[in-house]
Structure 1
Amino acid sequence: MLKTILLGVVALIGVALLAFVLIGRERSWEMIAGPADGGQHDFTDGKRSPTANDALACSPGLCTEPDFTIAPVNEAPADVIEQLSQRLAATDPRSRRVDDGTNPAKARFVTYSALMRFPDVIHLEAVTMADGRTGVMAYSRAQLGKSDFGKNRARLEALFAQP
């Protein structure tokens, strides 16, 4: 009896893994957890993930309790977002832009982990600060799980590292 149950469990797991591979890892996670893109992050409300699976980085004064700060720059907000978008595309081949591009000072991307294709979403926004320079806000969050093992912070740190 126990042997039959174990064989059934193993067969069920095998079928589930086969379906996961045939459907595709990214599409499978979407079917399980819904779309990774939930719309643009509102940097003004200070809301973050309730679990340790996100990272927030902002120029000084633009958000509450960032994980690290981003130095303001002299380029226009749209130019900053374009540069960051190009840098992200060059460094993360699994990322794809998911916003409609109507606001050139904002961008949103979904990217996937290498092996299991766990989805993460990256929000970028640039604003003109009181001193005329451009400040940047960036938020990266895993859609699944309670911990990302620092991956989202590392992603943002790499994105803002000086070339």
Structure 2
Amino acid sequence: MLNMSLKTVALCCASSLLLMACATTPAPAGDWLSFATLEPGLPTNRALACDPDICLAADASRPTATYDVSAKAVAAALLKLEPSADFRTEANGDIRARYVDTTAILRFRDDVDVLIRPVTDTSAKVAIYSRSRVGLSDLGKNGARIEALEKDLVTEFAG
């Protein structure tokens, strides 16, 4: 009985430390993600919405979404939806964004990178890479996050 109690206490302590580490990890620093160099074979704790002309080798979960608004309008809508996002514009006109999203219940922090590529002056395609920092599976959360972001952008443009 005492042995079982010690195992329970140890498990609770280890779980608490893991959750604290997940909840306090800052946003990634350093170089921005390169969509062009993502490798094939996404782990089960990631999701990618991307076309082959952007992600040259990676296997995407779904294609990019295309919107009938300028890349700058997409970036403005994304900033409204995700005020904590960092943005930068690249020399070729691509607009990049990255932010950390936190899951509702366990407060896990997941990283999201967005590439907004102008197609014309009045249309843009959006590639999104969402990935969990911890765990072997995300139980579909990253794919759902991409789908929700795409729908939220549509709603922003309609309103």
Contact 2:23 2:108 in 1 (8 A): no
Computed over aligned residues only, the root mean square deviation of the Cα atoms, in angstroms, reads 3.1
- Structure 1 or 2: more strand by fraction: 2
Task: Say if 1:50 and 1:135 are closer, same or farther in 2 by CA, change over 3 A.
Answer: closer
The unaligned stretches of length 5 or more in structure 1 are 90-95
**How far apart, CA to CA, are the structure 2 residues paired with 1:152 and 1:15?**
28
SS at match of 2:104: coil
Partners of 1:115 and 1:56 in 2: CA distance? 23
Does 2:93 match 1:142? no
Q: Tell me, yes or no, if structure 1 residue 29 matches structure 2 residue 14.
A: no
2:89 is the counterpart of 1:103: yes
Given the alignment of the two structures, is residue 127 of structure 1 paired with residue 121 of structure 2, yes or no?
Answer: no
Q: Which amino acid aligns with 1:47?
A: E
Aligned residue in 2 for 1:58: 50
The match for 2:32 among 30, 37, 40 is 40
Q: Percent identity?
A: 26
Aligned match of 1:10: 8
Q: CA contact under 8 A between 1:60 and 1:71: conserved in structure 2?
A: no
Following the alignment from structure 2 to structure 1, what is the Cα–Cα distance between the partners of residues 142 and 41? 12
Distance 1:8 1:67, change over 3 A: closer
Does 1:155 pair with 2:148?
A: no
Structure 2 gaps of 5+ residues are none
| Corresponding residue pairs, total | 145
Work out which of the two has the higher radius of gyration on C-alpha atoms and give 1 or 2. Answer: 1
Shift of 1:75: 3.1
Q: TM-score, normalised by structure 2?
A: 0.70
Report the Cα distance in structure 1 between the residues aligned to 2:73 and 2:124, rounded to whole angstroms. Answer: 10
Kindly report structure 1 stretches of 4+ aligned residues shifted beyond 6 Å.
none
Specify whether residues 50 and 35 from structure 1 end up closer, same or farther in structure 2 by C-alpha distance, changes over 3 A only.
Answer: farther
